[in-house]
Amino acid sequence: MVASLRPHAGPPRSYRFPQFTDERLANGIRLLTAPVAKLPLVTVLVLVDAGSTNEPHGKEGIAALTAAALLEGTAEYDGAELAQEFERLGTALESGADWDSAFLKITVLTDKLHEATKLLGHAISGPIFPEREIERLRSERLAEILQLETEPRGLADEKFSEFLYADESRYSKPDEGGIESVSRLGRSDVEHFYRANYKSGATTVIVAGDISPEDSKALISGAFKEWPGGSVSRHQLLTDVRTDRKSTHIVNKPDAPQSELRVGHIGLPRKHKDFFPTLVMNAVLGGLFGSRINLNLREVHGYTYGASSFYDWRRGPGPFVVSTAVESEVTAPALNEILLEIDRIRGEEISAEELSLAKDYLEGVFPIRYETTSAIASALATLAIYDLELDYYDSYRANIHKVSATAVLEAARAHLHPEQLQTVIVGDAGIIRDSIMSLGPGEVAVHNG
Amino acid sequence: MRIPVETFQLDNGLFVSLSEDHTAPIVAVNLWYHVGSANERAGRTGFAHLFEHMLFQGSAHVGSNEHFELIQRAGGTLNGSTWLERTNYFETVPSNELALALWLEADRMGELLAAMTQEKLDTQRDVVKNERRWSVDNQPYGTMLEKMQELVFPSSHPFQHSLIGSMDDLSAASLDDVAQFFATYYTPDNAVLSIAGDFESAEARRLVNEYFGPIPKGKGKPPLPPMNLPPVFGKRLRDVVYDNVSLPRLFMAFRSPVFGTEGYYAASVTSALLGLRRGSRLHQALVRERQVAADASAFTFDLAKGTDLVVVDVTARPETSATQLEEEVEQEIDRLYRDGASEFEVQRAVALIETDLTASLQSAGERADRLSMFATYFERPQLINDQVDRYRAVTVGRVNEIISERFGANNRANLIYVPREGVESEDVLAAAVGTA
């Protein structure tokens, strides 16, 4: 039969994150190029400091609408033709905006790169923002918002942010905007947001794949020659808590077969000195299949298909959240186990086995994360958006390696706050309310789903 | 662009594909077992998938959940998945951990049953029931696959029943079922193994021989009932589902040539010209021009037996009724059937597919999975290198033949989701969409 002795690992082969150049083009654009010649493919990713945290008050959703509207045509091509121009080259221009930036992205075969990149520069330097298409994109966003009402996972995430942050915080509202603000957005808002934010000083272009830095520079300088100059100042971000007391919100969905559960509080900004110990701490708590929360809820109790915890890293302090979906009847016991695990990781040092599992995983999986041009471009985007050191990826594994069990305990004590936990449950209030009360969940509010 | 492919077979029947690539110190191990929900017996729907969960519960020399732990500790990623025709298991690990990944896979292929207990089965049954609640019952349109299978396959057909299974059937599964399923299907001659990435061929062959060589060959598996189906449904099929959804959504399915055949590539191009990306016909017509749909796309199931399916997937805008949505989509398909596709549409579709195929080969895990797929269905993993050429060979003439053969009114199955709490009562809605 099969050999009973477990094999030992051979000597590891060294790995280095793809080397890249970092330069400033004559017109002010920052250009990062990572030459990777594995396959004849290139990803071009344009980042603009025009995310939703830069939206004027009352215009929530304008960042996403503007990013989408950039694909709707130029003086030369209307939106339909523009899509087809890219697609006949075998690529599709994608765009979007999250909290911290807007992006446009193509992945294309090398022999079509020049044509596609020229088209990209052309499209975003001279958008015409047709009224009809802006109206359509706005209606599509409203349809998406309507869909959330019957989508418990997305609804739970959204409600969690709403109940976590004070009303004045941009983070309390959906990153692509809610019904109230989106219904009032129009063409002039798009035009205005574009003129105010899409400038060379706020732009980073990332090129990853089968290309040299010299060719990349010539390509991007040419394609973005009409890109407007200037810089943009970032808005002050407010991230106050809605309440500093523990509380629980049940979004009532009578007859729901499961409860979608979110438990957490405001987390940390991405550029925090405790990033690495917190990352390792979270891996042990709920970041891995073999983490405490997943093993407890799934493998010991069979309450769920999966449970995890995670820090939503942003420029400002995004949420720390534990997420799971459990059968309605076991909502309270499942929530109780989560609370116990949060207490436990703050109570005493994790074991040497747990520490090595988390660290060995994070160190070992590192090269597997950067197999594609698109993943390499995203990694460089992280550098640019959060203004990380250029050697961030070269020192990543050493930084993970340095984290001790003591540092993990300190991170847990400093950055997990059981007394401030906010709980959101999307589920059948009739079944879950009474049993939840027995856990001392703070103030409990039931909302109509 | 071609990737290297070597193959060999062990005496016990295990078919092995190797594809070296030394650009990063990463290696992917991938196993396809040629068993899926189609092989389940009556009263045991969902068993193939439940069984997949049991494969992570340990084997003779591996503890419960230790498979996950050892791979993650090695810095690897892993999972498994179940489909109608196959079940796969895969790891991507740092290349110095190849032996570990192979050994773990061999231990469970050879000696799974040593570790099976009633308690583990009970826990995984609960986990799977929660998976069903999460991904099917409590998710808008989550029943789509199940409802579609019921609608498009005849009642005796192996593809007709639910892949995730019914709660009752999951409850009925026993340890005996686990033992029987294992002995019948989890044998080296019913599996293929693929290794892609940073390894030396001689060393990989040695490890495969050492770990998998001693596993005995199986005793054969029961044949599947006849799977072949006529090229078209022969009539209109239709099912209306009143569900907890916000917007009407139509899934329209067409029988199409099975995966890997010459006709498959033409049907796949047709699917792409209809619904791949924003420049596609349905997106342009229904989302952009007529503004009746919030979204439109199309895909193929890629079934290698019986029949494949092209599925068009269109979600209504809030102001569009289910009836109007269905009419609008029907009209677009009628127009395609009547006038055919253009040269430009075919070129656009093939160009997009070519980039996607190339991009997918960047990851070792994807390479290994595709090698396993072609090895399982056709015993020719080398087909991974023919895909771009096969798409490029599709002419507009061939696409239009497929459209005349397969996109007429006699080959459409409409699965329509209607919001349960709409502006109208259910009865009125039922009348409006023509069923009661």
Tokens of A352: 């040497």
Fold agreement between B6-212 and B237-432: yes
Query: Is the CB of B362 less than 8 angstroms away from the CB of A258?
Result: no
> Whole-angstrom Cα distance, residue B2 to residue B384?
8
Count of CB atoms situated within 10 Å of the CB of A230: 11
Does residue B423 have a pLDDT over 50? no
Residue A236: which pLDDT band, with cuts at 50, 70 and 90?
confident
Residue of A nearest to B128 (CA): A305
Q: Closest chain A residue to B70 measured between Cα atoms?
A: A357
Burial A231-259 (b: 16+ CB within 10 A, else e): ebeeeebebebbeeebbbbbbbbeebbbb
Please state, in angstroms and as integers, the Cα–Cα distance from residue B213 to each residue in A2, B16, B101, B209, following that order: 8, 12, 16, 5
Of A108, A290, A360, which has the smallest distance from its Cβ to B75's Cβ? Answer: A360
Q: What is the mean pLDDT of residues B31-59?
A: 96
Asked whether the CA dihedral A392, A394, A396, A398 is positive or negative, the reply is: negative
Q: Which residues of A touch B315 (CB under 8 A)?
A: 143
A80, A92, A364: residue with CB nearest B284: A80
Q: Which residue has the tokens 């302090």?
A: A317
* pLDDT for the residue numbered B1: 74
Residue scoring higher pLDDT (A214 or A299): A214
Residues A11, B96: C-beta atoms closer than 8 Å? yes
| Chain A: closest CA distance from residue B226 (Å) | 35
| Chain A contact present for B69, CB below 8 A | yes
- Spatial distance between the Cα atoms of A105 and A176, rounded to a whole number of angstroms: 18
Give the orientation angle of helix B262-275 with respect to helix B396-406, to 10 degrees.
Answer: 90
User: B75 in contact with A at a CB cutoff of 8 Å?
Assistant: yes
The average pLDDT across B134-145 equals 95
What residue segments make up the domains of chain B, in order of their start?
6-212, 237-432
Per-residue pLDDT at A151 exceeds 50 = yes
The predicted model gives A275-298 an average pLDDT of 97
Mean pLDDT of A29-52: 96
- Rounded average pLDDT over A38-46: 96
Q: For residue B198, list chain A residues with Cβ-Cβ distance below 8 A.
A: 13
Region B179-187: what's the mean pLDDT? 97
Q: How confident is the model at residue A166 (pLDDT cuts 50, 70, 90)?
A: very high
- pLDDT of residue B427 exceeding 60, the answer is no
What pLDDT is attached to residue A82?
A: 97
Partners of A14 on chain B (C-beta within 8 Å) are: 25
User: Which residues in chain A are closer than 8 Å to B92, comparing Cβ atoms?
Assistant: 368
Comparison of pLDDT for B436 and B395, the residue scoring more: B395
Mean pLDDT of the residues in chain A: 95
Amino acid identity of B334?
D
Across the interface, do B359 and A304 touch by the CB < 8 Å criterion? no
Contact A403, A361 (CB under 8 A): no
CB contact under 8 A, B124 and A91: no
Q: Does B421 touch chain A (CB under 8 A)?
A: no
So what's the pLDDT on residue B433?
37
Cβ–Cβ gap B130/A91 under 8 Å: no
Please report, rounded to a whole number, the percentage of residues in chain A having pLDDT higher than 90.
91
Closest residue in B to A426 (Cα) is B138
For A275-291, b/e burial (b = at least 16 CB within 10 A) is: bbbbbbbbbbbbbbbbb
Per-chain mean pLDDT for chain B: 94
Residues of chain A found within 8 Å of residue B423, distances taken between Cβ atoms? none
Cβ–Cβ below 8 Å for B94 and A153: no
Residues paired with A34 in a beta bridge: A208
Q: Which of A9, A302, A370 sits opposite B100 (nearest CB)?
A: A9
Pick the residue of A1, A368, A378, A428 with the most B CBs within 10 A to test the interface with B by mutation: A368
Q: How far apart are the first and last CA of chain A?
A: 56
pLDDT in tens, A192-230: 999 999 999 999 999 999 999 999 999 999 999 999 999
CATH 3.30.830.10 fits B237-432, yes or no: yes
Q: What is the mean pLDDT of residues A228-240?
A: 88
Q: Where are the domains of chain A?
A: 21-223, 247-448
- A1/B214 CB distance under 8 A: yes
Chain B neighbors of A155, CB-CB under 8 A: none
- Taking CB atoms and an 8 Å cut-off, how many pairs form between chains A and B? 242
**CB < 8 Å to A288, chain B:** 72
Q: CATH topology of A21-223 equal to that of A247-448?
A: yes
User: Interface pTM (ipTM) of the complex?
Assistant: 0.95
Q: Does B64 touch chain A (CB under 8 A)?
A: yes
Annotation: CATH topology of A247-448: Cytochrome Bc1 Complex; Chain A, domain 1 (3.30.830)
pTM of the model: 0.95
In 3D space, the residue among A442, A428, A444, A443 whose CA is nearest the CA of residue A325 turns out to be A428
Residues 216-255 of chain B whose Cβ lies under 8 A from any Cβ of chain A: 244-247
Give the residue with greater pLDDT, B1 vs B259.
Answer: B259
**Among the listed residues A101, A146, A157, A110, the one whose alpha carbon sits nearest the alpha carbon of residue A308:** A157
Strand-strand pairing, B6-9 and B26-33? unpaired
Residues of A in contact with B123 (CB under 8 A): 299-300, 302
Question: Which pLDDT band holds residue A419 (cuts at 50, 70, 90)?
Answer: very high
Among A79, A148, A372, beta carbon nearest to B288 = A79
Residue A410 CA, chain-centre distance (Å), reads: 26
Q: So what's the pLDDT on residue A1?
A: 59
Per-residue pLDDT, averaged over A267-279, amounts to 97
Residue B291 to residue A136, Cβ atoms within 8 A: yes
| CATH of B6-212 among 3.20.20.70, 1.20.140.10, 3.40.50.10070, 3.30.830.10 | 3.30.830.10
Q: Check CB contact under 8 Å for A1 and B111.
A: yes
Kindly list the residues from chain B whose CB atom is less than 8 angstroms away from the CB atom of residue A3.
103, 106, 210-211, 214
Torsion region of A440: left, alpha or beta (phi above 0 gives left; psi -120 to 50 gives alpha) = left
pLDDT reading at B74 higher than 50: yes
Choose the closest CB to A325 out of B134, B347, B348: B134
Among B60, B65, B133, whose Cβ lies nearest the Cβ of A299?
B65
Q: Identify the bridge partners of residue A427 per DSSP, sorted by sequence position.
A: A252
> Quick check: B122 pLDDT over 50?
yes
Residue A109 with chain B: CB contacts under 8 Å: 354-355, 358
Using the predicted structure, report yes or no on whether residue B94 has a pLDDT greater than 90.
Answer: yes
What is A21-223's CATH superfamily? Metalloenzyme, LuxS/M16 peptidase-like (3.30.830.10)
| pLDDT on residue A2 | 66
pLDDT of B375 above 80: yes
Q: How far apart are CA A35 and CA B3, in angstroms?
A: 21
Closest CA of chain A from B111, distance in Å = 8
